[in-house]
Chain A
Amino acid sequence: MATDPAPLPQQSRGILTPKTPAPNFTLNATPDQKVSLSDLRGKPVVLAFYPADWSPVCGDQMALYNEILPEFHRHQATLIGISVDGAWCHAAFAANRKLHFPVLSDFEPKGAVARAYGAYRPIDGTTERALFVIDEQGLIYWSYLSPVGVNPGADGILEALESLSKRRVA
């Protein structure tokens, strides 16, 4: 008897959009340290999914955000990078690039968090280049899916954080 195979949890049908509650997760930041999104409630969070550590350019996306970190902090935002690389790989990458923010391993089950955000690329087995700004209440405030070959920079994130800061004041 032929039955349709069960659909995959969530493929790249589009990333989560604003006003959607940001799915919670707990992932390894280092081999012995975990970070939960719910622990960061009350301040904005920037989630940057990226395909892989060690992209062969100077000032790759994570290194760029590392340089701009003070700007994110000015808006009280916590920056988090996420890819499917393992925690030991991230540890080496973070040390090499002198990253001052956590990069999390969406490693087991592979890409589960990326799938929950609609930011998994089954064709490559990596995450998309997708950005999310999550507000103080844990709702997605802004999201952006970049072509996987194009590093999106930080201008969109900063605009979203500024707009969020204004909302807070208003």
Chain B
Amino acid sequence: MTTGQSRVARLVLPVGERDHVQGPSDAQATLVEYGDYECPFCGQAYPIIKAVQRHLGRRLRFVFRNFPLAEMHPHALKAAIAAEAAGAQGQFWPMHDLLYENQDALDERSLTRYAESLRLDLERFRSELRAETYASRVQEDFMSGVRSGVNGTPTMFVNGVRHDGPWDAESLTEALIATAHTRTG
């Protein structure tokens, strides 16, 4: 093996059927976030990404993948599983938003309260949360992140390449547009 001097970290797991996606599949730009629901920096990124989405509209596809730092954040894994459990009932994004809007209350009782407010099948939600039904899926997200060079949370991939620059709305938008593919045909 050789000494690497300039690695470009790229997304190794392409965006696909398994992902939670907002925006059209043929959007010009794709933003993938690896995030942790208990991470305050991800909490800061949450409204910024919303702003970028509003600004770019149908030109942007946004994907969220789980990267819970479970050693550091005791509620992160359960919260990720809760979002997946809501996703199994068609409510991933509303739960995702609720979690980021209530980062200081991610204990099991609070998670159930959010599920209730989304009118989920509570019995199913609770049992899936307890059984950690979606833990393997969360782990799959996590490992795909590790292999792609995720180096903390949040890590963003702009059109498949790790974004090492600042992630205020303006910088992110600029990066997304600069490397967007132009539609052909």
Contact = CB atoms under 8 A, between A and B. Distances in A.
Determine the interface band of chain A, counting residues with CB < 8 A from chain B. Answer: 20 to 34
A153 B146 contact: yes
A155 interface: yes
Interface in B98-149: 142-143, 146-149
A67 B151 contact: no
A64 B5 contact: no
Given A18-B1, A60-B152, A144-B4, A155 B9 contact: yes
B184 interface: no
Nearest to B148: A155
Interface in B14-38: 36
Contact of A150 (B39, B71, B142, B164): B164
A153 B39 contact: no
A85 B40 CA distance: 26
A152 interface: yes
Interface string B66-88: 01011111000000000000000
Contact of A142 (B1, B40, B152): B1
A48 B153 CA distance: 20
B54 interface: no
Nearest to B153: A59
B153 A18 contact: no
Nearest to B150: A153
B152 A151 contact: yes
A67 B142 CA distance: 10
A57 B164 CA distance: 14
Interface in A38-89: 57-61, 63-64, 66-68, 71
Interface in B145-178: 146-153, 164
A98 interface: yes
Given A57-B41, A152-B7, A71 B152 contact: no
Nearest to A69: B71
B182 interface: no
A128 B73 CA distance: 28
A106 B64 CA distance: 39
A163 B146 contact: no
Contact of B71 (A61, A67, A144, A163): A67
A63 B70 CA distance: 10
Contacts of A63: 69, 71-72, 152
Given A61-B151, A61-B152, A153-B146, 4 more contacts: A58-B72, A100-B71, A153-B151, A158-B146
11 contacts: A57-B152, A58-B36, A63-B69, A64-B152, A71-B146, A100-B71, A143-B3, A151-B152, A153-B9, A155-B146, A155-B147
8 shortest interchain CB distances as A-B pairs: A59-B152, A151-B151, A153-B151, A153-B149, A58-B39, A142-B1, A155-B149, A144-B4
